Structure 1
């Protein structure tokens, strides 16, 4: 038993070191595509009254022109449409058009599909209403489509920072997600991406039949589309841009209960991908966390057990600080060592809580229940 924990204490840092090396190696030159063809930005929203003014200002500040911006209402029950209508009524842009659409169905996928039907451009970008966009976001995402074989481009997303542990925890966890996402793309085995920072050709979306086959699932508008594009066009048709200039900031969850609901919603679709690689990549991190939690039994195994326990957790905390601080640093984000170390200690418990919720398959999100039918 001691041998298993000892080997994990060596394997885990090696794995993180390999992922960090891949991140560090794959730098790409930033290219700005000058204003030319129209690009469409689709922003689905549901009960986002407090966030719409911010995303509206963020979109207005984008450098790219000409731009079509489609806000798609997913059955909001608050003042979202009223607030957004007032904002758009004050808009007077020559090369930027705004429109509020109402989803032809229920759920985010229906909202996105409605926006895609109304898109006037070939290149479509999607984001969420609780995000903040970098000024050259469109320019840089669009530049990848210079290569004709490229059908879909994904970019990094991270939660906003803060001084409390909840917000620090979320940002550090996002760093681990970005590290895993980039590794998948770099090894030509993409596993995930985020619809908050995604671009694709409208023709590609239509050719792979969009969300048909997974429209009944509350989440996955990003990952299921990614898999469809890869199956149809090949892995060379997708790209991932990890540079700071395209980093999209998303609003941090305000409570642990909301954070768990969000993560359970994302994790609950793991078994629906019908991919052995995806299943393995989902199960492996859980196994790591299970072993870390079970290692407390070592404290009852005498002096040798205590030594191995300290070695294991020391290796975990040092390697996670080393790799995740590097990822955060590449986006000019600094987290104190204590917050990363505390996250390392708490994360196994957090993961198992999310796994338990995902296995039950029950969660609430923005006034909807996972058992509701879209």
Structure 2
């Protein structure tokens, strides 16, 4: 059994090392201050976000981008109270979500697409804040490259709490995996809070047809369809000036359900690389959990467990460190405690996602 767990660990370490290599292959992009030319429609699905939307709209008003080159479509997914727009300096409208599937967010984007007049759309979430040069950086990259889809980074605005530090570490690992997979030409995941594509590409791919029974995944399934059909036109925008900031969840239950929602998509991936990597990461974390219990029951000696943990935490730290350097200027906090807890948390999420259900925006969904 010791040999089996160390073989799993070896495969896990090689996989993370590959992601680190892929990460290094994606070069940082710096905008070149080209004259803005791209017209964008920013799509924001929302449900009961009266507290967050004013902050997002305020960040839109501070964008260093001509107001005649972008408009905003807010898609109201049956909020309890109607949101009122007051004194905006840019074009913005609210439309009601037209539900036709099991996925509120995919329906919201499809609804917004009926009102889009620009060639490019960019999606974000209601609880986000966008940087001043967000659209300008996307525009410059689009002008300099032949692309139809661009994924970019998301990070958390954290308070000084262990829950927030744990989430930042988790998101950092996901962002590192995303960038690494793009660098390996095996892109399979992205974040819909910072995701751009042309309307024509969305139509060529028939939108979300084929996966609209799954509640989430408006980002990854569209990305995987695009990679399959038009691989050369899908890029990653690794630019600090394009990083969108979002809020972490405020309790462990919400975090657990959020991660279950994310994990539940994996079995429906088109990407064989994504599925394989998901299994490797799951078994890598599960092997640590098993090793911990082996230590408790005296099956493993303390030196063997420490050696196992050293290799796992060491390779994890490599990916976390380079990703954190890109995402934020602050150091990783609560690293040791988060690293100990994460394998247990991650394994529980995956196992629960196989048969459980989760809550999202006041609704319950079956996995």
TM-score between both structures, scaled by the size of structure 1: 0.89
Question: Considering only aligned residues, what root-mean-square deviation do their CA atoms show, in Å?
Answer: 2.3
Structure 1 segment 26-105 matched on structure 2, within 5 A: 26-31=26-31, 32-65=33-66, 66-77=69-80, 79=81, 81-82=82-83, 85=84, 88-91=85-88, 93=89, 96-105=90-99
SS of equivalent to 1:200: strand
Runs of 5+ in structure 1 lacking a partner? none
Asked if 2 retains the 8 angstrom alpha-carbon contact of 1:69 and 1:98, the reply is: yes
Counterpart in the other structure of 1:252: 248
Structure 1 segment 55-204 matched on structure 2, within 5 A: 55-65=56-66, 66-77=69-80, 79=81, 81-82=82-83, 85=84, 88-91=85-88, 93=89, 96-105=90-99, 107-146=104-143, 149-204=146-201
How many residue pairs were aligned? 361
Query: Could you say if the C-alpha distance between residues 211 and 301 of structure 1 is closer, same or farther in structure 2, counting changes exceeding 3 Å?
Result: closer
Counterpart in the other structure of 1:345: 340
User: Residue by residue, what CA displacement relative to the aligned partner does 1:79-124 show, whole Å, maximum 9, x if unpaired?
Assistant: 3x33xx2xx3322x3xx21111111226111111111111120011
User: Residue by residue, what CA displacement relative to the aligned partner does 1:262-291 show, whole Å, maximum 9, x if unpaired?
Assistant: 111111121112443222122111010111
Alpha-carbon distance, 1:242 to partner: 2.3
Asked if 1 retains the 8 angstrom alpha-carbon contact of 2:192 and 2:218, the reply is: yes
Query: Could you say if the C-alpha distance between residues 189 and 76 of structure 1 is closer, same or farther in structure 2, counting changes exceeding 3 Å?
Result: same
Alpha-carbon distance, 1:38 to partner: 2.4
Asked if 2 retains the 8 angstrom alpha-carbon contact of 1:33 and 1:140, the reply is: no
User: Residue by residue, what CA displacement relative to the aligned partner does 1:157-203 show, whole Å, maximum 9, x if unpaired?
Assistant: 12222211000000011110011111111111111011100000001
User: Residue by residue, what CA displacement relative to the aligned partner does 1:99-155 show, whole Å, maximum 9, x if unpaired?
Assistant: 111112261111111111111200111100001111111111233333674111000
Asked if 1 retains the 8 angstrom alpha-carbon contact of 2:44 and 2:125, the reply is: yes
SS of equivalent to 1:363: strand
Alpha-carbon distance, 1:228 to partner: 1.6
SS of equivalent to 1:100: strand
Residues 1:317 and 2:317 aligned together:
no
Asked if 1 retains the 8 angstrom alpha-carbon contact of 2:29 and 2:238, the reply is: no
Distance in 2 between residues matched to 1:303 and 1:271, nearest whole Å = 34
Distance in 2 between residues matched to 1:262 and 1:327, nearest whole Å = 22
Query: Could you say if the C-alpha distance between residues 158 and 119 of structure 1 is closer, same or farther in structure 2, counting changes exceeding 3 Å?
Result: same
Structure 1 segment 286-301 matched on structure 2, within 5 A: 286-299=282-295
Distance in 2 between residues matched to 1:212 and 1:7, nearest whole Å = 40
Counterpart in the other structure of 2:235: 239
Asked if 2 retains the 8 angstrom alpha-carbon contact of 1:158 and 1:247, the reply is: yes
Highest relative contact order (Cα 8 Å, sep 6+), 1 or 2?
2
Alpha-carbon distance, 1:12 to partner: 4.7
Asked if 1 retains the 8 angstrom alpha-carbon contact of 2:25 and 2:183, the reply is: no
Between stretches 49-58 and 36-45, larger displacement belongs to 36-45
Asked if 1 retains the 8 angstrom alpha-carbon contact of 2:38 and 2:139, the reply is: no
TM-score between both structures, scaled by the size of structure 2: 0.91
User: Residue by residue, what CA displacement relative to the aligned partner does 1:220-271 show, whole Å, maximum 9, x if unpaired?
Assistant: 11111111212222x1110011222111111100000001111111111211
User: Residue by residue, what CA displacement relative to the aligned partner does 1:320-339 show, whole Å, maximum 9, x if unpaired?
Assistant: 334313311223332356x1
Structure 1 segment 220-235 matched on structure 2, within 5 A: 220-233=217-230, 235=231
User: Residue by residue, what CA displacement relative to the aligned partner does 1:57-79 show, whole Å, maximum 9, x if unpaired?
Assistant: 111111122211111111112x3
Distance in 2 between residues matched to 1:212 and 1:11, nearest whole Å = 35
Distance in 2 between residues matched to 1:179 and 1:7, nearest whole Å = 24
Alpha-carbon distance, 1:25 to partner: 4.3
Between stretches 26-35 and 153-162, larger displacement belongs to 26-35
Asked if 2 retains the 8 angstrom alpha-carbon contact of 1:316 and 1:344, the reply is: no
SS of equivalent to 1:118: coil
Distance in 2 between residues matched to 1:232 and 1:304, nearest whole Å = 49
Distance in 2 between residues matched to 1:302 and 1:73, nearest whole Å = 56
